[in-house]
Amino acid sequence: MTRLARTLATLAFLALMLAGLGFVAARLSGSESREALAAVAGPADFLEGRFTAVLDKQVVAALPKLTALDDMASGLAYRLLGDAGPLVRAGCPGWLFYADEIVEPREREAPVAERIRLAAKIRDHLAARNIALVVLPVPDKALLAADRLCGLPVADRAAKRFAAWWEGSRGLGLDQVEIAPGFPGADGFLRTDTHWSPLGARLAATRVAEHVARKIGAGTQKVTLKESAPHARVGDLMRLAGLERSWPWSGPEPDQVPDVSVAIARSGGLLDDVPAPAVVLAGSSFSRNSGFLDYLQAASGYEVAQKSADGSGFAGQLLEFLMNEPESLAQTRLIVWEFPMRALTRPLTETERRFLGDPT
């Protein structure tokens, strides 16, 4: 930290302490506090500690809630120092990035190699069930929106994660969707969130739909897409940085996004059995945000079963139902497997190790 940064941090701390002391003094001067202290202000109360005990209770009651203090500290750190906390990094004004995409991975190269082996085993597992597979690796926001980093350094192996996957996986024969070529750069991501913007989600969904059509033919269901007027959305990176409540004075402002939904016309009467969707989406939070599922259904002409989960990592949710709910795949013709590429260099999960047959 530079001398200027230390000076600013010290001033910010002093300002926070003075503000807190002023707040406590103001609360203690209230009528209820004055009455409580006056009731134990006799000489005996001082000698026997009753005044001190009541004062302690009044000070504790007067202290600001920890949430408010945390919000104030996070806002000051971001506004004065450009510090968004341990989990988030601040790039250009208004832009936040997930630290996981930028910092040096804890593991060496082993997890990438193991996950390529894991992908091959998933491929074989589904082929044995005659289920087609389309894979969507999601490049890091720090890679596709690099012009919004504004000098924010990206660790060498984090920057090479993208190339490591493609170099290692091209020989697997996987049907993979590449979204980096022609991606709209920073416009494809939300400023305050780690996920795609609706523009990026629509592009990714359209490309996935093209692969789905080549695998199992074009869908024939009528899917009507609906989008609301844009409204403010506080991004997950704002929440991780503790800025979701302090943004009006500390920034950045939330993104403006629409709500996306679809209406699907199904054949048959109300009492008829509805067949399970032939296409399953098994992914991470990228598959659950910015309307990706809805854009995919509209672009493909297929109703798609959502099997994604936040925090799924590389293949967590896919392996979950492959290993624990295999009967749910009885009518499945194709699985879309989406994963964020930042998960490639995380340590293997217990579920991944079990699927690979590694008991450690």
Residue 112: pLDDT band by 50, 70, 90 thresholds? very high
Q: What are the residues whose beta carbons fall under 8 Å from the beta carbon of 239, sequence distance 6 or more? A: none
132-138 sheet: strands from edge to edge: 132-138, 334-340, 279-282, 304-306
| Higher-confidence position of 284 and 54 | 284
Share of the chain above pLDDT 90, in %: 64
The pLDDT assigned to 81 comes to 83
Residue 250: pLDDT band by 50, 70, 90 thresholds? confident
Q: Give the residue among 168, 174, 176, 175 at the shortest CA–CA distance from 345.
A: 168
- Whether residue 109 is predicted with pLDDT greater than 90 in this model: the reply is no
**What average pLDDT score do residues 311-337 get?**
92
For the packed helices 110-128 and 161-169, what is the interaxial angle rounded to 10 degrees? Answer: 40
The pLDDT assigned to 7 comes to 55
Q: Identify whether the C-beta of residue 291 lies closer than 8 Å to the C-beta of residue 263.
A: no
- Count CB atoms within 10 A of the CB of residue 348: 20
Residue 187: pLDDT band by 50, 70, 90 thresholds? very high
> Distance between CA 93 and CA 151 in Å, rounded?
12
Tens of pLDDT along 47-98? Answer: 555 555 554 555 545 545 556 666 777 777 887 788 889 999 999 999 999 9
The pLDDT assigned to 75 comes to 75
| Higher-confidence position of 330 and 20 | 330
- Whether residue 1 is predicted with pLDDT greater than 50 in this model: the reply is no
Tens of pLDDT along 216-245? Answer: 999 999 999 999 999 999 999 999 999 988
The pLDDT assigned to 73 comes to 75
Tens of pLDDT along 132-163? Answer: 999 999 999 999 999 999 999 999 989 999 99
- Count CB atoms within 10 A of the CB of residue 81: 16
Q: What is the mean pLDDT of the chain?
A: 85
- Whether residue 273 is predicted with pLDDT greater than 90 in this model: the reply is no
The pLDDT assigned to 181 comes to 96
